[in-house]
Amino acid sequence: MSIRYIATTPFSDQKPGTSGLRKKVRVFQQPHYLENFVQCIFDTLPKPAKKDILIIGGDGRYYNQQAIQIILKMAIANGFRHILIGQHGLISTPAMSAQIRKYRALCGIILSASHNPGGPEADFGIKFNMGNGGPAPEALTDAVYDATRAIQEYRLFESDDIDLDSLGEIQLAETRIEIIDTVTDYADFMQHLFDFDAIRALFKSGLFHMLFDAMHAVTGPYAKEILLRRLGAPTDTLLNAVPKEDFGGGHPDPNLLHAHELVERLFGANAPDFGAASDGDGDRNMILGRHIFVTPSDSLAVMAANIHHLPGYSSGLSGVARSMPTSQAVDKVAESLGVECYETPTGWKFFGNLLDARKITLCGEESFGNGSDHIREKDGLWAVLFWLNLIALRQQPVLEIMREHWRRFGRHYYSRHDYEEVDSTAAESLMAHLRRQLGGLSGRSFGDYRLKACDDFCYTDPVDNSISEHQGLRFMFEDGSRIVFRLSGTGTAGATLRVYLERYEADPEKHGLETQQTLAPLIQIAEELAQIQQFTGRDRPSVIT
């Protein structure tokens, strides 16, 4: 058994984005491609000491197992002496974050393209998390990118593939490999944060029915252990709970479009009381009640207003944070509680410093992601358990919880319109066109809406003072309404334009209105400002959430 040094050539590639590198499977399967990128990660990290632990796992999509075998052999060749791998090669993103923190690992490598589809013709991805359990900071991903442009060789330890299915230890040369059960660990952790007795009683009453859609992705085994085994929910609570390499052919994206099976059940006759779904790698969540969809922004606000009732959070909130395009619903709660509310750029990595510095307890994004200081990633099942715990405590249906919240804090009508796979040059031109207008628009009126300010969002991290520029164009109106434009950093084909629309309504008499209708004037202003149709050739968004 020996280490092979394999000559390769630099590959000038795109910078790893907010959540690692995402490409088509075919791209990752090209000779040396995955290896090059992984070697660049190892070259950028400090050289591992004997005690340093590396954790590897993925969301189970096509190419997961093969990639793990390659990365394992490269990790050994690069000096790792202790490696942990999730059983069957599976680890959800939040479970990875929890495991890194529990084992005090040096870092973790997650194979996932999150909510993007899987299969030989679909997407694959690789991201790496650091010792705090969170995504690598920009300085590090930039350094990896620089390494990809200089790489000359990679290292591979020669051995047969190992068995990823049986728990236990394997010794390869000087390296100890452990196949670990992350499901039990994660379930124990959740049990410590939430009142499982109260939730178990809720299911036992027979008066409460829920559906959880794992979308054939990684949370299936975790949901089975937690919801069925520990909380006593009936078996038919779970939909699509067996992980599949192609996620059953769907997009494992828990939103109104892609989780339509679940949505139809919750809005149909004999709808259950509660519905939830999570994405490919388990960090996203969607929350539904009978005949109601809770926007992720509202979900964050409800969590902030109620968190002190939960066992794991009895000391309340130190502060909260939301990504810039997320609605300002949580700001109202923070204001009433007298705690700080931070506004960060899109992407979970910007919450890391705030969490590490204990400036915030809770944070979230409009893109179906919420989480807390328990780990350094957003956490899908955690959010589901949060809501279950809340329902068990308040003994109220979701609709009632929302109505009460809106009566107290006002309602933020909110929607995101995505234009997917548009021509990249056209998308860039649209953004440039908007940027050119920023200086001259303030004070201008669009029908009833008067523009108060607009800018290209720039964030200064309050902990390390690092500056992140060009994080999205904000148009803020005098009544509190906002329109935000930004380009996605996670797509694998063309560009995706995201238009975020938000309107505040304080009057409870008007809280029953339909969202898209309520936002119609803003939708029109967005078109007027950005000339979306002219630039992209599209007369409507591809996804509305």
- Footprint of Co ion on this chain (CB under 5 A)? 114, 279, 281, 283-284
Residue 372's DSSP bridge partners are 362
Q: 18 touches which of Co ion, ligand VG1, none (CB within 5 to 8 A by kind)? A: ligand VG1
Q: Which is nearer to Co ion, 126 or 177 (CB)?
A: 126
In angstroms, what CA-CA distances link 544 with 473, 517, 523?
A: 19, 13, 12
Nearer to ligand VG1, 111 or 391 (CB): 111
End-to-end CA distance of the chain: 53
Q: How far apart are CA 111 and CA 124, in angstroms?
A: 7
Amino acid, res. 320: V
What's the Cα-to-Cα distance from 491 to each of 121, 178, 498, rounded to whole Å? 15, 34, 12
- Which chain residues interact with ligand VG1 by CB under 6 A? 18-19, 114-115, 279, 283-284, 323, 346-348, 365, 367, 488-490, 498
Count of CA atoms in the C-beta half-sphere (13 A) of 383: 38
Please identify, using beta-carbon distances, which residue of 16 and 347 lies nearer to ligand VG1: 347
Q: Which entry of ligand VG1, Co ion, none binds 19, CB below 5 to 8 A by partner kind?
A: ligand VG1
* Cβ count near 513 (within 10 Å): 14
C-beta of 320: minimal distance to ligand VG1 in Å?
16
Q: How many CB atoms lie within 10 A of CB 226?
A: 26
Q: Which is nearer to Co ion, 83 or 383 (CB)?
A: 383
The Cα 43–Cα 320 span in angstroms is 36
Question: Closest residue to ligand VG1, Cβ-based?
Answer: 114
Residue closer to ligand VG1 by CB (options 44, 490) is: 490
Selection from Co ion, ligand VG1, none that 488 binds (CB < 5 to 8 A by kind) is: ligand VG1
Q: Which is nearer to Co ion, 281 or 366 (CB)?
A: 281
CB-nearer residue toward ligand VG1: 299 or 367:
367
- C-beta of residue 339 within 8 angstroms of C-beta of residue 447: no
Question: What one-character DSSP code corresponds to residue 132?
Answer: T
Write down the least CB distance from residue 249 to ligand VG1, Å.
19
What is the Cα gyration radius of the chain?
Answer: 23
Quick one: 135 or 312, whose CB is closer to Co ion? Answer: 135
CB of 325 to ligand VG1, least distance (A): 8
**Whole-angstrom Cα distance, residue 102 to residue 106?**
11
In one letter, which amino acid is 510? K
Chain centroid, CA 306 distance in Å: 22
Tokens at residue 23, please? 């490409």
DSSP string, 411-451: EEEEEEEEEEEE-HHHHHHHHHHHHHHHHHHTT-EETTEEE
Q: How far is the CB of 135 from ligand VG1 (least distance, A)?
A: 8
The two tokens of residue 6 are 């394999």
CB proximity list for 332: less than 8 A, separation 6 or greater: 301, 409, 410
From the candidates 114, 278, 367, 415, give the one annotated as an active-site residue.
Answer: 114
Tokens of 131: 């010792």
Q: How far is the CB of 196 from ligand VG1 (least distance, A)?
A: 26
3-state DSSP of 45-92: CCCCCCCCEEEEEECCCCCHHHHHHHHHHHHHHCCCCEEEEEEEEECC
Q: What is the smallest separation between the CB atom of 194 and ligand VG1, expressed in angstroms?
A: 22
Smallest distance from ligand VG1 to CB 77, Å: 29
Compute the residue count for the chain: 545
Distance of CA 461 to the CA centre of its chain: 20
Smallest gap from Cβ 369 to Co ion, in A, equals 8
Contact 352, 132 (CB under 8 A): yes
114 included as an active-site residue: yes
Of 524, 333, 545, the C-alpha closest to 447 is 524
Decide: 271 and 399 in contact? Cβ < 8 Å. no
Task: Residue 43: name its binding partner from ligand VG1, Co ion, none (Cβ under 5 to 8 Å by kind).
Answer: none
Nearest CB to Co ion, comparing residues 35 and 281: 281
Partner in contact with 348, chosen from ligand VG1, Co ion, none, beta carbon below 5 to 8 Å by kind: ligand VG1
The encoded tokens of residue 87 equal 């059983």
Residue nearest to Co ion (CB): 114
For the bound state, the minimum distance from the C-beta of residue 111 to Co ion, rounded and expressed in Å, comes to 12
Q: Looking at the annotation, which residues are catalytic? A: 114
